[in-house]
A and B are shown apart, each in its own frame.
Chain A
């Protein structure tokens, strides 16, 4: 059952990363990878909230391991940073790496605090 829930969450999360990335790029024609930053921060916010709620293991598997796990990515983030460095966009590369880590950690803490406050 857990395996099926993880699979279902991932089957939604991975295409949503692709579609979000496309939608963000279509609106911001910039070398900065805003699309990946968006999904990584949004996924960290949601997973932070999920861990704050004493949820059933099924919810953690579906939303946490499956959906948030597949929505967010380290492979895309690191490849983007490598390419920006290669193309001479050093500032963008450093900003991308540091902003992802800081914003991701902040989003996880915010999601946790919000869910904790709402559920008591």
Chain B
């Protein structure tokens, strides 16, 4: 029998999970340092992609759209792996909170849509808002389901 998966809603920090509750007081410098280092890597990767694929105020922000969907797919994979097997304690702070949190961005999503509306491209803004929302939810579900299935198949062997 495998133990039931823990009820974790928030991948950044969930105070219902005992390990998350204790981690900051036990190792504050290591946890915050890992998050900061991961955040820098994620943000630089995002900035690189965004500057390679710029968009006009009325154009569809493909770079940010792709970044957010890719990050959602990867958090699904990461959390499935973390839920299925023991991993070192800094893996979630570094990769989940830091790298993927720093890579994906909600503020650019909201501001890109707001600027498109201001520039007179309300249709593009609406399409971008809806496509990112639906795409992000499908991506996290696909990442989680695919990784969980692969891990279960490997464990059954």
Interface residues of A (CB under 8 A from B): 3, 6-7, 9-15, 17-19, 21-22, 25-26, 29, 31, 33, 35-36, 40, 43-44, 46-48, 51, 61, 64-66, 68-84, 87, 97, 100-101, 104-105, 107-109, 112
Given that A17-B97, A43-B107, A75-B72 are contacting pairs, would A70 and B9 also be in contact in the complex, using a CB cutoff of 8 Å? no
For chain B residues 45-78, which have a beta carbon within 8 Å of chain A?
Answer: 46-47, 50, 68, 71-72, 74-76
Interface size on B, residues (CB 8 A): 61
Task: Specify which chain A residues have a CB less than 8 angstroms from the CB of B14 in the assembled complex.
Answer: 25
Interface residues of B (CB under 8 A from A): 7-15, 24, 31-32, 35-40, 42-44, 46-47, 50, 68, 71-72, 74-76, 79, 93, 96-98, 100-111, 113-115, 117-118, 129, 132-133, 136-137, 139-141, 144
Task: Kindly state the separation between the CA atoms of A76 and B103 in the bound complex, as whole angstroms.
Answer: 11
A6:B114 contact, CB within 8 angstroms: no
B140:A104 contact, CB within 8 angstroms: no
7 residue pairs of the A-B complex, CB under 8 angstroms, read: A6-B44, A6-B47, A33-B10, A51-B115, A70-B43, A74-B68, A79-B10
B138, chain A: closest CB distance, angstroms: 9
**Top 9 A-B pairs, shortest CB-CB distance:** A14-B39, A10-B43, A72-B106, A104-B110, A44-B110, A75-B75, A43-B107, A74-B104, A47-B107
Task: Specify which chain A residues have a CB less than 8 angstroms from the CB of B44 in the assembled complex.
Answer: 3, 6-7, 10
Task: Specify which chain B residues have a CB less than 8 angstroms from the CB of A71 in the assembled complex.
Answer: 107
